[in-house]
Structure 1
Amino acid sequence: MAPLLTMHGIDKRFAGIPALRAAELVVEKGEVHALIGQNGAGKSTMIKILTGYYRKDAGEISFDGKPAEFSSPQDAQRAGISTIYQEINLVPYRSVTENICLGREKRRFGLLDWPAMHAEARALLARFNIDIDVHRPLMAYPTAIQQMVAIARAIGFEARLVIMDEPTSSLDEREVEVLFGVIRQLKAAGVSVIFVSHKLDELYAVCDRVTIMRDGRTVQVAPLAELSRLDLVTAMLGRELTQVLQDGHDAGDPDSEARQPVLKVANLAVGRKVRDVSFEVRPGEIVGLAGLLGAGRTESVRAVFGADKPDAGTVTFAGSDNRIAAPSDAIRAGMGFCSEDRKLEGIIPDMSVRENLTLALMPQLARRGIVDEGRSQEIVDRFIKRLGIRCAGPEQRIRELSGGNQQKVLLARWLCMNPKLLILDEPTRGIDVGAKAEILSLIRELAGQGLGVLMISSELEEVVEAASRIFVLRDGHTAAELKGDAVNEQSVMAAMAHGHEDSREEAHG
């Protein structure tokens, strides 16, 4: 029997940079097929090309035995491909019925047949054990219900192929089980499903085969039953288990282990992404926070910094239980935070190097609303020299600098505040190899001077090289604490795949 979908040799470039390189995806009829990979692996680009959102640069697509190139998502939908996106893309002010039936409204005598549409909406939602007033606006219901409405709408199109992009991100465990029941119903009816998720347990619960992508390429296709969780993690990250691993981690201050933690986080819970996370950082220590995409790393540190409100748990900073309710509290207490998205949440592109560097320090530089220009210039000159920031001068716009030099300016922004703790979320993302080495060397130097550093990185090699201790997060929980000889890529991958007990076995077995 011929596959329902074949995507062969798919290439796609954005501004000359390859997003997909000869990528492959084959989905059989009546199959639940997992599509996985780290952030930036190419999963979303493949889906958007399939559904007509992007045009491919090269390659062939066939759907149901015929060549296919859809001009828009609506075109793909008419052909029998329905997509459920992670972000709920419905109309909140319209009723539940209107959202479910949008684009395929029933008519009678030329008029909208509301009784028939309300009945259909109720019947589709009943498959999810949901009984709500379908006349009410969608916005009247919580996010989980809205997600189920989006899924019901997609199923209502009677598609041959349903694409689910992180469909469980807003659902609790009971709702996830109901969704899995519907997926099994679809499979039994001969409908195929592409299931995109970073939660490994979900893949094994519902999927038949898996396509693993990395750096825009398809790196492995196999039945899930033939792959262990460790195999999946290894393929996603591109690290061989037999690789010779570096020992001897001299990161930070060797005396840091005897000191009291500058930060202690216990049983932290934030929304649906963070459920029970605990870790600590001592002065002069670089601590790595590792985990797959969606494990809860960024969400945890945002709560520590006061950017998001925790639902449970305790955060003790600098020996005080004083509640950090906002980033301003964290900054005053002596905490700095370089966020993951440098361009969106870090730099202010049209402002100068000087203005970006002194942004957090500005309240201390101003008296009665007047900035002490002399002190400001002295601080800027000192940190440009200390960090080796390559720029034409302090007044150059930061957007004109390379990614590595922009990152150094952001580091300088916090260092000039003399912090006790520096949180670095993906500090080397998007910068070249030489600049990465400079940034990592600088981080080690700072820790050696007594600064506590908490570092998130998706590059295992980087976090293992830099950190003296690593806490591994998995599905919103702290899965393992690794230190000493256990700080190696094999142990981290084992903890990502299995959690604490199995990670110890596989690391030493």
Structure 2
Amino acid sequence: MAFAETDRAVIAQLSDITKHFGAVKALNGCHLTLKRGEVHALIGVNGAGKSTLSRVVAGHIAKTSGSYAFNGEQALFASPRMALAAGISIVMQETSIAPDMTVLENIALAEFGARGRADWRAMERKAAAALDFIEQPRAMLSKRAGDLSIAQRQIIEICKALYNDSELIIFDEPTASFSPLEVEQLFSVMRLLRERAKSMVFVSHRLEEILEITDMVTVMRDGSTVAAGVPTQSITSRDLVQLMVGRDIQNVYDRTLAPAVRGGASSPLLDVRHLAAAPLVHDLSFTLHRGEIVALAGLVGAGRSEALEAIFGLRKMQGGELFLNGRALKPTSPIDAIRAGLGMIGEDRRRQGIVPDLSVEENLLLAHLGRSKAVHTDYGKQTAKVDALLRELDMPAHTRDVPMLALSGGQQQKILLARWLMLNPSVLLLDEPTRGVDIGARSTLYRIIRKVAESGVGVIVVSSDFEEALGLCDRIVVMSDGVSVAEVPSNVLDPAILTMLSMPRSSARQMKGVLEDVSKAVDATAFWVQVEGGRAFCLDLVEPRPLALGIAPNRFPLVDDTALRVLLAPDAADGAVIHDGAITSVKYRLTNASGHAFGEIGISMPSPGDDRLERSASAIAQSLLKHDIAHIRLAADPTGHQETVHEQ
């Protein structure tokens, strides 16, 4: 029986929660109210504090201050086991199953930590009841857990929670590596849990999933709650992005926005074509010119860092090609990349960059060992260059002999940058170059990076800080789910639009199939587009023959500068066949099952056009079903044929 709306009651109440890790405030004034029979989204950009707050709720870490009540009583969880005993479980993105044990043994795993003999019959009855609760087959119990799919492993984690009588289940990025079909399987289970009065917290970057499955939304930013308990039905994806980004962006990078390509019409310095590198990079293409700073922007899991590692020879390429100065580049190790003229600063400077027991000078000169084939390296010849670089980095000369661990994080990052400048690279790869760096050191690093680019070096930056990516870089390559989905000058974007473009779209591959079906059915160009801020953001395009529409996945023109200015106008009606000069078009707005906007599908052909466009709505609807994305639908079914003629 479905859980009645009137039966909803507060199960957990967190108010003014703070969490300090030393001098760092990870949480600062967080509020969260959870109710029975509710799926509650907890969202925010990278580093907003979502996982930290989730871990406080689940007893993994203790709050520094604030109040936390669970089931009407003060929650004083000193360990995850205490929270589990109270009825709280957390399902992590990476499941914690024991692969060589059976599903039954995994579900009842907590029993093996108890004293006395295990009652296998009782455990099997209880585990079977957990599977019954979410309508899963009991036959799973005897299977080896390691043989199951990722989605089925998540089902095991949910059954663990049910086995332990959990009333509140936290899902932390559960769908990050799911196929669309697996997502729908998980959502079916979550709906059953909701009907059976279980409460859930859903932590995710995927806006389409949040709008699809959740009842309420709480938004976090910089460790604080900025919107608490907002009904999902009352908010749009654009609203969510603005709450996540939160503030007007000012140009604090002290530079004039550069043209899209500093090198003009010159050939690329680095040409990346359809790069694939397991497990996260599937199809990445972009170019880098001399003197240009390009950002690989995306969310955690998009494959940004893995792409840099593949280019630098740290990760094996499964597909694609690299060209440096027009010549094929096939680095099988970092030494190959260094000798070709590449340098890289990794995301984790302690693990990937510095040797803590060596001095600053020794760390500075480490890269010479990779480039030089000589048996001996005369470091003495580099002293003058080291001193000059230290002055450029605003660091005193005596720093040469100081151990690396004696430096601050910002100073260590400066040294890592200087290490590669010693080698005069042609391409510099920077992964999160200002992570954990104070604003003063950031300013120096930005100045050095710009100066390096002005000398003709091509720079690729990976940054989770979208303000930084837009302020520092000339051009943005947007990555989502391991694929480059856009390549655009930074002055065209703002953080809100960049965040929206970066959001993983689990339906993107199926939508490509829909466009291909519709294009074939009506023999016309089909496109998936979203209009934001007066610009046409083309999410995908199938063009059987050239048609000058002025849109493309790697372009973000003003709507008025395209051949679709009438079609994409705010007052253009769904299903209206529009004759606009040489182009005849029709469009249909898309929504998900909750009624939230999902962009628009448009179909265009050369004028005068014919009745093929009248059949397009039916073709779209049939193809959505065919590709198993029935949760996306036409916003309205046109009841009659309309025509609009626009004279150029």
Normalised by the size of structure 1, how large is the TM-score? Answer: 0.88
Letter aligned with residue 164 of structure 2: F
Residue of 151, 160, 182 corresponding to 2:158:
151
Contact 1:365 1:375 in 2 (8 A): no
Q: Who is 2:438 aligned against?
A: 432
Do residues 230 (structure 1) and 238 (structure 2) align? Answer: yes
- Give CA deviations for 1:274-304 in whole Å, capped at 9, x if unaligned: 3433222111111122223333322322222
Structure 2 distance, partners of 1:106, 1:439, is 51
Structure 1 distance, partners of 2:333, 2:237, is 38
Structure 2 distance, partners of 1:484, 1:11, is 36
Letter aligned with residue 417 of structure 2: L
Residue of 180, 185, 188 corresponding to 2:195:
188
Contact 2:357 2:403 in 1 (8 A): yes
Q: Who is 1:324 aligned against?
A: 331
Contact 1:403 1:431 in 2 (8 A): yes
- Give CA deviations for 1:356-381 in whole Å, capped at 9, x if unaligned: 1111212455733x332323434433
Secondary structure of 2:182's aligned partner = helix
Structure 1 distance, partners of 2:504, 2:137, is 33
Do residues 354 (structure 1) and 361 (structure 2) align? Answer: yes
Letter aligned with residue 346 of structure 1: G
Q: How does 1:91-490 map to 2 (within 5 A)?
A: 91-104=98-111, 111-114=117-120, 117-118=123-124, 121=127, 134=141, 138-139=145-146, 145-221=152-228, 222-240=230-248, 249-251=256-258, 255-271=262-278, 273-364=280-371, 367-368=374-375, 370-390=376-396, 392-483=398-489, 485-489=491-495
Secondary structure of 2:328's aligned partner = coil
Structure 2 distance, partners of 1:376, 1:122, is 70
- Give CA deviations for 1:195-244 in whole Å, capped at 9, x if unaligned: 11122222122111111111111011212233322322222223338x79
Contact 1:334 1:420 in 2 (8 A): yes
Residue of 74, 87, 90 corresponding to 1:83:
90
Structure 2 distance, partners of 1:66, 1:484, is 51
**Cα distance, 1:42 vs structure 2:** 1.6
Secondary structure of 1:257's aligned partner = coil
Letter aligned with residue 26 of structure 2: A
Letter aligned with residue 474 of structure 2: S
**Distance of aligned partners of 1:195 and 1:214 in 2 relative to their CA distance in 1, 3 Å threshold:** same
Q: Greater RCO between the two (CA within 8 Å, min separation 6)? A: 1
Letter aligned with residue 286 of structure 2: F
Contact 1:253 1:284 in 2 (8 A): no
Q: Who is 1:25 aligned against?
A: 32
Contact 2:387 2:397 in 1 (8 A): no
Q: Which runs of 5+ in 2 are unaligned?
A: 1-7, 506-527, 536-557, 560-648
Do residues 6 (structure 1) and 34 (structure 2) align? Answer: no
**Structure number with larger C-alpha Rg:** 2
Percent identity over the alignment is 39
**Cα distance, 1:144 vs structure 2:** 5.4
**Distance of aligned partners of 1:384 and 1:431 in 2 relative to their CA distance in 1, 3 Å threshold:** same
The farther-off stretch of 373-382 and 459-468 is 373-382
Structure 2 distance, partners of 1:428, 1:420, is 21
Letter aligned with residue 66 of structure 1: E
**Cα distance, 1:411 vs structure 2:** 0.9
Secondary structure of 1:292's aligned partner = coil
The farther-off stretch of 438-447 and 44-53 is 44-53
**Distance of aligned partners of 1:329 and 1:25 in 2 relative to their CA distance in 1, 3 Å threshold:** same
Contact 1:247 1:488 in 2 (8 A): no
Residue of 61, 69, 76 corresponding to 2:76:
69
**Distance of aligned partners of 1:39 and 1:112 in 2 relative to their CA distance in 1, 3 Å threshold:** same
Root-mean-square deviation (CA, aligned residues, Å) is 3.2
Contact 1:389 1:409 in 2 (8 A): no
Structure 2 distance, partners of 1:131, 1:251, is 62
Structure 2 distance, partners of 1:445, 1:200, is 38
- Give CA deviations for 1:109-155 in whole Å, capped at 9, x if unaligned: x7534355456656756858678775566456565554443333223
Structure 2 distance, partners of 1:130, 1:359, is 58
**Cα distance, 1:35 vs structure 2:** 0.9
Structure 2 distance, partners of 1:106, 1:254, is 61
Secondary structure of 2:59's aligned partner = coil
**Cα distance, 1:439 vs structure 2:** 0.8
Secondary structure of 1:502's aligned partner = strand
Structure 1 distance, partners of 2:22, 2:81, is 26
Secondary structure of 2:60's aligned partner = coil
The farther-off stretch of 282-291 and 83-92 is 83-92
Q: Who is 2:634 aligned against?
A: none
Structure 2 distance, partners of 1:252, 1:436, is 23
